[in-house]
């Protein structure tokens, strides 16, 4: 079957509708729809009729193998398998499947991507640099972008969390934000002094762009509507260029930097897990892989056996 041939299935649509009510993230929903429609298209191309009760483990394994042969990365295959497993769990709950044939299946192991945090001094330069003159003298956009940068780094927000932030989620008295994370899991993020100052400055001029008083989004565009993820990515990248960064700056890199810098300073893995809103601590442990040279220097300075060896060498 052609990869562009539209496919549909009433149970698939029912699953996606339920997911929309639970998740709320358009990006997540689009991923589920794309993955599952590709899976259904593959099955139809092999002669399978959507009688889900007859779906076998072998058919799922064959689909994953085909995707692997087509060059799909292990990480993407893992996501496809996760989407399929979730859909089949739904069918199980609806008593249309007695067992989930995707349970126990494993995708090819993906190499874990280590975060690349921005150097602290570089970040200080980014956040403290004057941007007004470079923006053609437009103060509102400068004030808004400063608040965006401060919240991404100062609160460790995901891009989707920043974009979905509403006015009633901001509490300057308690110095915190109420953040809606993945799976609509709510958490409270401390609002640091500089982030609070930048956010207050933005909220004081936000009305200049407001077209509808019913708009509750914290961050809006010049059209007065909730800012889009693409617009945030563009503005963050531009700020990085203006700060002289050679690598592209993106919102998730600021979150990486928030996590890495916190963990380096505190060593509190559980605390950083809570602040990031990670459901599983294994997601947070990636930040413990600090640069080996840094660890070697700490060892040389602090470990008594290392110091003793150095002293013996000096004596010899």
- The reported pLDDT for the residue numbered 136 is 45
Give 186 or 164, the one with higher predicted confidence.
Answer: 164
Catalytic residue among 32, 63, 258, 287: 287
User: Is the model's pLDDT at 46 over the cut of 50?
Assistant: yes
- How confident is the model over 91-142, as pLDDT tens digits? 999 888 888 988 888 776 655 555 577 888 888 888 887 655 444 445 899 9
Catalytic residue at 185? no
Do 196 and 186 form a contact (C-beta atoms < 8 A)? no
Catalytic residue at 158? yes
Task: Output the DSSP codes for 110-163.
Answer: PPPPPP-PPPHHHHHHHHHS--TGGGTT-HHHHHHHHHHHHHHHHS---HHHHH
CA distance 24 to 1: 31
In DSSP terms, 176 is beta-bridged to 171, 190
User: Is the model's pLDDT at 85 over the cut of 80?
Assistant: yes
Comparing CA positions, the residue from 170, 164, 203, 208 lying closest to residue 189 is 170
Q: Assign 170 to helix, strand or coil.
A: strand
pLDDT band at residue 306 under the 50/70/90 scheme: low
For helices 193-205 and 139-154, angle between their N-to-C axes, nearest 10 degrees: 150
Catalytic residue at 258? no
- The reported pLDDT for the residue numbered 70 is 83
Catalytic residue at 68? no
Catalytic residue among 34, 116, 252, 301: 252
Catalytic residue among 206, 255, 256, 261: 255
Catalytic residue among 79, 80, 131, 158: 158
Catalytic residue among 182, 187, 194, 226: 182
Cα angle value 147/258/299 (rounded, 5°) = 150
In DSSP terms, 66 is beta-bridged to none
- The reported pLDDT for the residue numbered 247 is 84
- The reported pLDDT for the residue numbered 310 is 43
Catalytic residue at 32? no
Catalytic residue at 42? no
Tokens of 49: 């009729």
CB under 8 Å to 209, separation ≥6 — which residues?
140, 220, 221, 222, 223, 224
- The reported pLDDT for the residue numbered 236 is 94
Q: Give the chain's end-to-end CA distance (angstroms, integer).
A: 76
């Amino acid at each position: 079957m052609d990869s562009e041939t539209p496919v549909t299935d009433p149970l698939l649509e029912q699953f996606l509708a339920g997911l929309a009510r639970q998740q709320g993230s358009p990006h997540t929903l689009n991923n589920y729809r794309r993955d599952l429609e590709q899976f259904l298209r593959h099955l139809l191309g092999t002669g399978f009729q959507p009688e889900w009760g007859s779906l076998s483990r072998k058919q799922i394994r064959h689909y994953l193998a085909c995707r692997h042969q087509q060059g799909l990365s292990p990480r993407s295959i893992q996501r496809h398998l996760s989407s399929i497993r979730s859909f089949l769990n739904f069918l199980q709950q609806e008593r249309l499947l007695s067992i989930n044939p995707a349970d126990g299946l494993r995708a090819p192991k993906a190499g874990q991507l280590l975060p690349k945090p921005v150097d602290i001094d570089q970040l200080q330069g980014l956040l403290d640099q004057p941007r007004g003159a470079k923006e053609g003298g437009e103060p509102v956009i400068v004030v808004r972008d400063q608040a965006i940068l401060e919240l991404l780094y100062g609160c460790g927000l995901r891009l989707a969390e920043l974009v979905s932030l509403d006015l009633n989620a901001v509490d300057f008295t308690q110095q915190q934000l109420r953040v809606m994370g993945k799976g609509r899991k709510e958490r409270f993020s401390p609002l640091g002094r500089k982030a609070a100052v930048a956010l207050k400055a933005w909220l004081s001029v936000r009305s200049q762009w407001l077209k509808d008083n019913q708009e509750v989004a914290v961050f809006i565009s010049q059209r007065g509507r909730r800012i889009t993820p693409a617009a945030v990515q563009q503005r963050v990248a531009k700020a990085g260029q203006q700060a002289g960064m050679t690598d592209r700056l993106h919102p998730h890199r600021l979150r990486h930097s928030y996590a890495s810098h916190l963990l380096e300073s505190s060593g509190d893995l559980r605390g950083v897990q809570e602040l990031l809103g990670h459901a599983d601590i294994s997601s947070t442990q990636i930040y413990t892989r600090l640069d080996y040279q840094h660890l070697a220097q700490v060892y040389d300075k602090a470990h008594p056996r290392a110091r003793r060896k150095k002293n013996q060498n000096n004596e010899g």
